[in-house]
Amino acid sequence: MKPLELANRTIPRSLFGYNRVRVDGLMQDLSDALARMTEEKVTLSILLREMEHRLEDGLKREALLKENLIASNRVGDNIREAAYKEAQLIQDTARLKAKTVLQSAHDRLARIVEEAAQAKKNTVLFEMQLRAIIGDHLRLLDMNRSEPVSPETTARNPSETAHAQTSDTVNTKFGAT
């Protein structure tokens, strides 16, 4: 029963006041309505407590999710930072290795150029010495042709004679004894 219904309800009067059956009926209706309201209040109180528990659980979960989200963001940031530092380290190491390899290549090139220059010098020196020796031998041959042949030298083997004369001339020319 609603308050408006109660206010609009009229109870007829009898000889000694209000009609007892009608008053008892109204009282029963009010008692039933009060019982329903009490029951509804209990049900709503239970539902309210359940909702409050759910809300509390939801708030706890939300707080936990926020904490987890913040923690995972921190972990993600830390991982990104560590990955960036590792990438920088890899780049620095690669640059250092490249610099070392490049320096090694430059050093090797310098040694090769130096060895090539030394080989060229040695080749030129060898050619000069060879030309000098050949020139000396040619002069010796020319000197042997212009010297008169003595009877003792003819008694020897002609190849021994030429060899002995060449050796004497070379020893004299180069200072050997």
DSSP string, 77-119: HHHHHHHHHHHHHHHHHHHHHHHHHHHHHHHHHHHHHHHHHHH
- Asked, for residue 94, whether it belongs to a domain, the answer is yes
pTM of the model: 0.41
In a domain, 22, yes or no: yes
Residue 103 lies in a domain: yes
Report if residue 114 sits inside a domain: yes
Average pLDDT over residues 115-136: 95
* pLDDT, position 4: 66
Tell whether 150 is covered by a domain.
no
Of 120 and 33, the one with more pLDDT: 120
**CA proximity to 29, closest of 66, 63, 48, 3:** 3
- SS3 category, 17: strand
- The residue segments making up the domain with residue 105 are 3-145+156-174
151 in any annotated domain? no
* Structural domain total, the chain: 1
> What is the rounded CA–CA span in Å between residue 93 and residue 87?
10
In a domain, 14, yes or no: yes
Per-residue pLDDT of 8-42, as tens digits, reads: 667 777 777 777 787 788 888 888 888 988 999 99
User: Given this model, what pLDDT does residue 177 score?
Assistant: 46
